[in-house]
């Protein structure tokens, strides 16, 4: 379950607008997920969807369609699960990794701007 503490970036994983530029040509059905090691089964993709780590689009026929980015995220979750981490915990770990990446990126941007202004911290 997604808690209120999840970052905007985590929520963005479920938002098709956050998948990046370009047409949705990268969308794949569950069988297309087999191109990424460990994602040969739609069962695992559904489980990370249930944990609200990713939310696939649906085809007109109701089939789940995953972006390349979602498949990479699911592959990271698969790595953690294969190491013995429960799916829910793996999804939370990925969310926290994303939050840390966001914080580090923001910190670099602030430092760069302060350096441009001649301000040292």
Could you list the pLDDT tens digit for every one of the 121 residues in the chain? 333 333 444 444 444 444 444 334 455 555 544 445 556 668 888 888 888 888 888 889 988 888 898 889 999 999 999 999 999 999 999 999 999 999 999 999 999 999 999 887 6
Closest by alpha carbon to 115, among 51, 107, 44? Answer: 107
Residue 96 CA to residue 100 CA, distance in Å, equals 6
The answer to whether 73 touches 54, Cβ cutoff 8 Å, is yes
Helix (H, G, I), strand (E, B) or coil at 72: helix
What pLDDT is attached to residue 33? 47
Please state the pTM of the whole predicted model: 0.61
CA distance readout (Å), 93 to 76, 87, 120 = 10, 10, 33
Strands of 1-121 (E only): list them: 57-58, 64-65
């Amino acid at each position: 379950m997604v808690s209120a503490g999840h970052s905007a970036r985590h929520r963005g994983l479920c938002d098709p607008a956050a998948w990046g530029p370009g047409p949705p040509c990268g969308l794949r059905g569950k069988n297309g997920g087999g191109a990424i090691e460990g994602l040969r089964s739609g069962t695992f993709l559904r489980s990370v969807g249930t944990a609200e780590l990713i939310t696939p689009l649906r085809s007109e026929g109701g089939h789940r369609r995953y972006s390349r980015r979602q498949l990479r995220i699911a592959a990271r979750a698969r790595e953690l699960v294969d190491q013995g981490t429960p799916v829910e915990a793996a999804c939370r770990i990925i969310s926290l990794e994303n939050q840390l990446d966001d914080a580090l990126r923001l910190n670099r941007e602030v430092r760069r701007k302060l350096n441009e202004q001649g301000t040292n911290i």
